[in-house]
Amino acid sequence: MAETTTTGGALAGIKVIDCTRVLGGPYCTQLLGDHGAEIIKVEPPQGDEVRDWGPPFDEGGDASYFLGVNRNKRSLGLDLSTDKGKEVLLTLLEGADVLIENYKPGAMEKWGLGYEDVLKARFPKLVHCRISGFGATGPYGGYPGYDGIIQAMVGHFSINGTRDSGPTRIGLPMVDIGTGLYASNAVLMALLERERSGRGQYIDMTLYDCGLALMHPHVPNFVLSGKVPGRTGNQHPNIAPYDLFKTKTVDIFVAGGNDRAFKKICVELGKPEMGEDPRFATNGDRLVNQTELNAELQALLIDVDGNALCDRLLAAGLPVGPMRDTAEVMAHPHTVHREMAVEMGDYRNWGIPIKFSRTPGSIKRRPPRFAEHGRDILREHGVSDEAIAALIEAGVVLETRRKG
């Protein structure tokens, strides 16, 4: 059994002030929170708008979209447009390691909270990560950005879908999620560098940059060949076979990543001579003759039990898998075994994908209700009960969402 400790996670002791909404930022901070960082989610008076992105909603009125990316956080409602609100944020930043926000570029500066003008000098060890659509400068500087818009602009639509379907949005918010993952890496890099230099720094993350950086292998293919990549459906632009095939029971995905694996697939399917066919001898040959290759494979697979075949081929070390829907995935024994289907009371979601041997992550808090922890957070930062009451009375600190 792997050695474990009770340190509270790899990031225990790291304090993050999370002023993000929607998806990219919250995805990043949930990941940090899963591994022990203290996440204080500062919500605007109207709350994080994805609390309303439903149905479905839970019994407290929060949408699944919010619940999916906001566990292991505490919530404070705060109006940063007020002077008192800015003072509260500065109080929260005392002793904080990270500030992550996705306000419109220039907003923090307009509020007198800019990194270069204020935060850098006042909190020299602070890592300030900003997530925006396009950054503050350049032809698109300051413009708003949403996942689907960026997918369209950086080429995702152009390579997704079939030749007949036309350009298609990827069915996952991959730009937002990818930006959240890039941002978490960036924050951890900055914290590691701070161990050497003793200094924090500003991190400029954009959906545009991160979305473009996800365009593999299409950008390198274009750079080397000069050919503009197009839509290939389920097929891969560089590998064959790599496609979805029908069987008697379930559609299965077959990936012949190298020549040896392809030959072994042919043997397991009872047609070893196909692996020796000069049309299919190398990956390059198979790409050129992909139509014929897929037709022959489909003829071999159409009458077999796809689930049983996948189990047999996987056990033989071959890359195949059955297509499953979300319900099937969440109930599958391997999902359960890997602790990737979790429950905490009425909260259910995917588990923690990063598996440390000594400092495992954990789910300690379900996603917070709006401003659920506001009074506790402020008390912990030295704000008296009388001052808290005055802030609430003035509408600076909120305990219910402001309408409109």
Instruction: Give the Cβ contact number of residue 4 at 10 Å.
Output: 11
Do the domains 15-214+347-398 and 242-331 sit in the same CATH topology, yes or no?
Answer: no
What are the structural domain ranges in the chain? Answer: 15-214+347-398, 242-331
CB 102 within 8 A of CB 22: yes
Q: Please say if 176 is a catalytic residue.
A: yes
Coil/strand/helix, residue 190:
helix
Instruction: Round to whole Å and give the CA distance between 171 and 158.
Output: 14
The DSSP output letter for 72 is S
Class of domain 15-214+347-398 (CATH, top level): alpha beta
Sheet containing strand 242-245, edge to edge, reads 242-245, 252-255, 320-322
Choose, from 34, 48, 79, 176, the residue flagged as catalytic: 176
Instruction: Round to whole Å and give the CA distance between 108 and 23.
Output: 20
pLDDT by position in tens, the chain (length 404): 344 445 699 999 999 999 999 999 999 999 999 999 999 999 999 999 999 999 999 999 999 999 999 999 999 999 999 999 999 999 999 999 999 999 999 999 999 999 999 999 999 999 999 999 999 999 999 999 999 999 999 999 999 999 899 999 999 999 999 999 999 999 999 999 999 999 999 999 999 999 999 999 999 999 999 999 999 888 899 999 999 999 999 999 999 879 999 999 999 999 999 999 999 999 999 999 999 999 999 999 999 999 999 999 999 999 899 999 999 999 999 999 999 999 999 999 999 999 999 999 999 999 999 999 999 999 999 999 999 999 999 999 999 999 87
Class of domain 242-331 (CATH, top level): alpha beta
- pTM value is 0.93
